[in-house]
Chain A
């Protein structure tokens, strides 16, 4: 089971957002993060907990291992206000996602 917190995070442009994802058991660094904007499909941001996907800016970073993971977004821009999902691939099947964190302005 993947648990994300908080459910909603209120921030202003230029601020920093810190999102958390906790696994119910040790998954090493087998974690991915996705961003989903309204009306769009999720887009891969991070894999192996801290490796940025193609085109993801350096102000977005991931960290963690084992059961606790963090996604940090510095200098929030308009495109960052979205829902973020974490997904584990360390213990499958099933592959499981968190419930999502909404970053709102």
Chain B
């Protein structure tokens, strides 16, 4: 059974860079059937897809975040990473690491990590 565990800072200052990692266990990140993705949930708002990546190199970014965003997949260590630059209070959210069924739905989800952007 696949498990995803996010890690990273709980607090980031405005204008700084947010870096998150997700450790994947119980499944191979090189299975061709899956993308690996980040989804975030700002307080009081709906879920927002952030980015997705496939081990063969295909990646997709939310257009509203693309200029500040990088996603990567370390296949040797089964670690998914996210970097978001120049953060603002609007980036405050719970960030979830998720497995994506090809280019379809998201399942399962990690437990999430809440990140606050504040000075």
Chain A residues with CB under 8 Å of chain B are 30, 32, 34, 40-44, 47, 53, 85, 87, 89, 92-100
Whether B60 contacts A53 by the Cβ 8 Å rule is no
CA A14 to CA B86, docked complex, whole Å: 49
CB distance from B10 to the nearest CB of A (A): 15
Closest to B102 in A: A89
Most buried by A among B45, B46, B101, B108: B46
CA A41 to CA B111, docked complex, whole Å: 6
Q: A41's contact among B52, B101, B112, by CB below 8 Å, is which?
A: B112
Whether A97 contacts B105 by the Cβ 8 Å rule is no
The answer to whether residues A98 and B104 also contact, given A43-B109, A93-B61 and a CB cut-off of 8 A, is: no
Closest to B45 in A: A99
Whether B103 contacts A92 by the Cβ 8 Å rule is yes
The answer to whether residues A89 and B62 also contact, given A96-B49, A97-B48 and a CB cut-off of 8 A, is: no
Closest to B111 in A: A41
Secondary structure type dominating chain A contacts? loop
CB distance from B50 to the nearest CB of A (A): 9
CA A38 to CA B19, docked complex, whole Å: 25
CB distance from A62 to the nearest CB of B (A): 12
Q: A100's contact among B46, B52, B110, by CB below 8 Å, is which?
A: B46
Whether B107 contacts A53 by the Cβ 8 Å rule is yes
| Cross-chain pairs A/B with CB under 8 angstroms, 7 sampled | A30-B104, A43-B108, A44-B105, A47-B104, A87-B47, A93-B60, A93-B63
CA A87 to CA B105, docked complex, whole Å: 7
Whether A89 contacts B105 by the Cβ 8 Å rule is yes
The answer to whether residues A42 and B103 also contact, given A93-B62, A97-B48, A97-B49 and a CB cut-off of 8 A, is: no
Most buried by A among B46, B47, B49, B104: B47
B 56-88 binary contact with A (CB < 8 Å = 1; else 0) = 000011110000000000000000000000000
Question: Contacts A47-B107, A97-B46 given; 19 further ones with Cβ under 8 A?
Answer: A32-B106, A40-B111, A41-B110, A41-B111, A42-B106, A42-B109, A43-B107, A44-B106, A53-B107, A85-B47, A87-B105, A89-B105, A93-B49, A93-B61, A94-B49, A95-B106, A97-B49, A99-B45, A99-B46
